[in-house]
Amino acid sequence: MIEVREHEWPSTRAEAVAVQQRLRPLVRFDGQPAEVRTAAGLDVAYDESSDELVAAVAVLDVPALSVVDSATVRGRAEFPYAPGLFAFREAPPLLAALRQLSVVPDVLVCDGQGLAHPRRFGLACHLGVLTDLPAIGVGKTPMGRFDPPGQRRGDRSPIRMDGEEVGSALRTQHGVKPVLVSVGHRCTLDAACGLVLELAPRYRLPETTRTADHLVRTTR
């Protein structure tokens, strides 16, 4: 079972920013899993007419890209939407789903940002610190600036915020729009990009993300 570091969930934006600033020094950028045999994709889907949501975690066997465990949680968003505070809507139900797993994944692959965040503490950092599992963010919406990478699979270019490199725009398929990879916790950027390529042999998004997305949609 995954052990989770607890903290009080804030009710205001100022409290949420204070939580990010307090937890930010706990993020580790060094090292990587000795071996990644399983990777968990995490996703949340919302009802368009309410704050009801479904959070899903799908654990894949990395070589086979087959599902070995999964969990879903229905709930309601308890924190308002606010730029840079995405994790306070999505982390609580995702942590609830992670607690239900019987397989502890070697890495979390989050549909969102890690260090590519105004306070360098996106969803992947938040979940990584609270579970102490290696975590990476694979975003689709840019936060920061980057030059387009080359057109070949595996080409990448740095994402920068305030002059600092915070991630990579990574081309997972030839000529297809890049994904935005950033470190969440206990992983290097090179290792994160390598894993994303391994998880995306045919499509733009890694199979972890695609599987978790399918799971929330079918559950809804």
Which residue positions form the known binding site for Mg(2+)? 43, 111
Per the annotation, where are the binding residues?
43, 111
Q: In sequence order, what are the residues at sequence separation of 6 or more whose Cβ sits closer than 8 angstroms to the Cβ of residue 77?
A: 46, 51, 52, 53, 89
- 220-to-53, 110, 169, 214 alpha-carbon distances in Å: 8, 20, 31, 10
Burial class (CB in 10 A: 0-12, 13-18, 19+), 75: middle
CB of 103 within 8 A of CB of 78? no
